[in-house]
């Protein structure tokens, strides 16, 4: 099924044999990918299933697809990986969302913190959701990571309740002194700061909330490098990159 164009649709309820593709996904199909009637496509409803379908009719604002079969997608990670990343300047948050999606992250939270100077608004969050969707299609995932925004670090840390491993990448930890990432198993949340980094107070808050400080070595990484590296390291340690 790998050569066929992939599109996300609303969650399908029950046994459905035809479905309309609408909105942005339709525009992308029609004007960018130039999908034609008779084309074989894949529809993804976020449940993890992949539906094979044939484009039966293209209308002005939607297309009708006939579903011909379904399989369970097998490219989703077995373990929950949640990235919490400080809001970054320019389009850096988009970069992180794109790469984290490729690396199999299941959820992404973006937060404001003490030394964070980037701002988020509704449009930017919508844009991040679109980036996640496009990235998920490109890397053949059948689910799109959920994206959430937190006004402060407290809310972001709270959203990590219940995860088996709670990791906090901290630039002022001495290298070698932090938590050993290779020891993890089970659902994992990784927090990475924005360009301004974290304050001592924020680090204390995180450890008091059950997070373990992680060092990424002796060099100070750019926030986007740190975020993407954390995703790769966690996914690797959990056996998700095999």
Minimal distance, residue 193 CB to ligand SAH, in Å: 2
Residues whose CB falls within 8 Å of the CB of residue 1, separated by 6 or more in sequence, listed in order: 42, 50, 52, 71
Which of 35/105 has CB closer to ligand SAH?
A: 105
Minimal distance, residue 92 CB to ligand SAH, in Å: 11
- Detail the DSSP E strand segments found in 98-206: 107-111, 146-150, 165-169, 188-192
Minimal distance, residue 21 CB to ligand SAH, in Å: 39
Site track for ligand SAH across 163-182, x = CB under 6 A: ------xxx-----------
Site track for ligand SAH across 114-153, x = CB under 6 A: ----------------------------------------
Q: Which of 142, 169, 158, 164 is nearest to 109 (CA)?
A: 158
Q: Are 5 and 42 a contacting pair, CB within 8 Å?
A: yes
Which of 147/230 has CB closer to ligand SAH?
A: 230
Q: Which of 208, 231, 82, 229 is nearest to 150 (CA)?
A: 82
Asked if residue 228 binds ligand SAH (CB under 6 A), the reply is no
The Cα 41–Cα 65 span in angstroms is 9
Residues that bind ligand SAH (CB under 6 A): 169-171, 192-193, 196-198, 215-217, 219-221, 223, 226
């Amino acid at each position: 099924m790998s050569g066929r164009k992939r599109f996300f649709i609303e969650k399908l309820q029950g046994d459905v044999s035809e479905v309309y593709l609408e909105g942005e996904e339709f525009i992308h199909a029609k004007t960018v990918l130039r999908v034609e009637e008779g084309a074989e496509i894949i529809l993804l409803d976020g449940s993890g299933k992949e539906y094979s379908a044939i484009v039966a009719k293209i209308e002005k604002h939607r297309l009708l697809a006939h579903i011909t079969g379904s399989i369970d997608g097998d490219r989703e990670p077995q373990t929950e990986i949640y990235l919490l990343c400080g809001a970054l300047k320019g389009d850096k948050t988009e970069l992180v969302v794109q790469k984290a999606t490729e690396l199999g992250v299941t959820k992404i939270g973006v937060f404001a913190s003490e030394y964070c100077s980037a701002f988020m608004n509704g449009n930017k969050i919508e844009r991040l959701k679109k980036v996640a969707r496009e990235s998920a299609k490109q890397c053949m995932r059948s689910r799109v990571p959920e994206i959430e925004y937190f006004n402060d670090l407290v809310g972001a840390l709270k959203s990590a309740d219940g995860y088996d491993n709670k990791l906090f990448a901290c630039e002022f930890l001495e290298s070698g002194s932090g938590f050993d990432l290779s020891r993890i198993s089970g659902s994992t949340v990784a927090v990475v700061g924005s360009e301004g980094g974290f304050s001592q107070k924020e680090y204390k808050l995180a450890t008091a909330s059950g997070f373990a400080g992680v060092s990424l070595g002796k060099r100070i990484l750019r926030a986007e490098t740190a975020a993407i590296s954390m995703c790769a390291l966690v996914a690797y340690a959990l056996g998700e990159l095999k």
